[in-house]
Amino acid sequence: MFKLLFKNLKAKNWVSVFVILLLTVLQVFFMMQIVGYISKLTGAVQASRQNGVAEVWQYGLYMVICAILMAAVEVIIRFVASSVAANVVTDLRQKLYERANAFAVADFASFSTESLITRTTNDMQNVHLALLTFLKTAFVAPVTMVWSIILLLNYATGSLTLVTVIWLFVLVAAVTVLLVLVIPKFKMVQKLTDALNVSSRENLTGVRVVRAFNAETYQEKKFDKVNTEYTKVQIFASRVIAVFTPIVMLVMMGLTLSILWVGAYALNGLPMEIATQSFGAVNAFVMLASQIIMSFILLITLIVIWPRATVSAKRIDEVIAHEVSVLDPANPKQFTEKGTIEFRNVGFAYPGSNKEAVSNISFKVKKGETIAFIGATGSGKTTIINMIPRMADCTSGEVLVDGVNVKEVTQKDLRDRIGYAPQRGFLFTGNIKENIAFSNPEMTLADVRWAAEIADADSFVSKKRNGYESEVAQGGTNFSGGQKQRLCIARALASKPEILIFDDSFSALDYKTDKNVRANIKEKMPDATRVIIAQRVGTIMDADQIVVLDNGKMVGIGKHYDLVRKCPVYQEIALSQLSKEELGL
């Protein structure tokens, strides 16, 4: 926790922390003045019987002034502490978000989506609460305790000191037992929070599948299992913490009664005037001893919050400190060609795997050409194209774009040359224009419409009441699968890139629309190099090169006419979709 905070506290935050420390000393000063005046007030009450009540009013007025000043300082401390805590957590959240944004495909293997969401929300809240509590109590507690002990020596006797030490020992022992019981539970809570998020997100994302198979009861049982376990841990931790307050009250009341009893026993038999003055000292001793206990309680409150916050801080730091696998070079090179892609004996292995998912991949694509990839599910098609925009880096061989190894140029320069349409059509909350102009928010409506026309999306967008200003729901749920894919294709085309990557982006389109979109791209963007993953042979028959994959290896490369006769794997795929007559066999 401290490691995370020290790394992320800025200079202005350190100044604020120093201000809090100074204000805390001032606050404790006023508090101790009140304790001193209470002792004097007791003697003044006795004296007022002979000399009037002027002195009583004087001390009372001083106490009121000190109380007002102490309250004012407390308000300022809380304002400053709240500001520091909010700013630090805001910076942490921003760093975590930016680091997650920089993750490559391999990096996401270390953190699930649900876990990243939990770390950004729940874990951040725990750190914020702990930091806020720390700033409000970490200074005031020790300062009050030390100051109280120094003043206490003026009033202390052997018996009063012994009573105070005994009750402090009882409090420390009880709190130690409570912490030993509750700290392991706090660690479990964060892991179970991840599990709850996984269960909830899985059910909501796959709600159609769940309903189609009447699996609501099954999903409810899965969620109930995690939810019940989470509840049990929370209840146990809450019950342990609930015991804390009664113990504190017992110690406070027991200490007060013990001091008063010992004091009364000592004062018994003394003359009235001496007894009255001595009672003022006993009263001050009670106040100071109570301040020590209250300071200790403040520290314990922080100690109770700290274990859970420490777990959360560690989880946050794991993301922020995670070394991103794809980094920009120190001295980036300039591109020497335009629209070319070359793979030289490329292989890729996922983290933790000793076997490459794809290996010995070699091909070259020239400007304006189309290369297509086809193969069974899991054959490595998406893995290969992910290496072109450096979503992942090859573990062997070289990937060249425009004549330069992709590892020797900046990611921004590389991706500025690439338009990407993902396998799963994903749209962002906003409107249609904002989604198509995602690469450049300043893009004109004319350019947006140009891209939509090529993707055959203008036909349905224009029919909407608000046209390109029409709302897009989260994830594009207010569009059909085919409409989402066409909008995603339009988004890839809008920036007029040199290289277009379509990761099975035509799968939800009917044959006619598929053919029209590809024809439009070839006509309107003849110089763009096209990389296509497809399951349908009809989509890739006209490609300049077709790469056939099987279990991560190239088993064929060439044009459709040659592959359908010479490559058994391609022939099998083609015959499963088209007749021999359609294939010309």
Residue with tokens 């020596």: 153
Residue 108 in any domain: the answer is yes
Measured CA to CA, the distance from residue 184 to residue 177 in angstroms comes to 12
* CB 347 within 8 Å of CB 397: yes
User: Please, where are the H alpha helices in 437-496?
Assistant: 445-454, 458-461, 481-494
499 forms beta bridges with 418, 529
- pLDDT, the chain, mean: 83
**Residues 6+ away with beta carbon under 8 Å from 504:** 381, 382, 423, 533, 534, 535
Tell me 468's DSSP state: G
Q: How many residues does the chain have?
A: 585
* CB 114 within 8 Å of CB 201: yes
Query: Which H helix or E strand runs over 347?
Result: strand 341-348
Is the per-residue pLDDT at 391 higher than 80? yes
This prediction has a pTM of 0.70
For residue range 346-360, what is the model confidence (pLDDT) as tens digits? 999 887 778 888 999
For residue range 53-68, what is the model confidence (pLDDT) as tens digits? 666 677 778 888 988 9
Provide the number of structural domains found in the chain. Answer: 1
Residue 485 in any domain: the answer is no
pLDDT bin (cut points 50, 70, 90) of residue 272 is very low
pLDDT bin (cut points 50, 70, 90) of residue 474 is confident
Full residue range of the structural domain in which residue 183 is found: 88-320
Residue 360 in any domain: the answer is no
Distances in Å between the alpha carbon of 355 and those of 109, 547, 550, 579? 16, 21, 15, 37
For residue range 207-227, what is the model confidence (pLDDT) as tens digits? 778 888 788 888 888 888 888
* CB 455 within 8 Å of CB 489: yes
Residue 561 in any domain: the answer is no
Tell me 406's DSSP state: G
Residue 523 in any domain: the answer is no
pLDDT bin (cut points 50, 70, 90) of residue 283 is low
Residue 194 in any domain: the answer is yes
Residue 283 in any domain: the answer is yes
Residue 305 in any domain: the answer is yes
483/241: higher pLDDT: 483
Pairing between β-strand 396-401 and β-strand 430-431 as defined by DSSP bridges: unpaired
What the block records as the tokens of 296 is 């200790």
Coil/strand/helix, residue 289:
helix
The CATH number that applies at residue 105 is: 1.20.1560.10
Q: What angle do CA 169, 143, 130 make, to 5 degrees?
A: 80
* CB 431 within 8 Å of CB 472: yes
* CB 532 within 8 Å of CB 539: yes
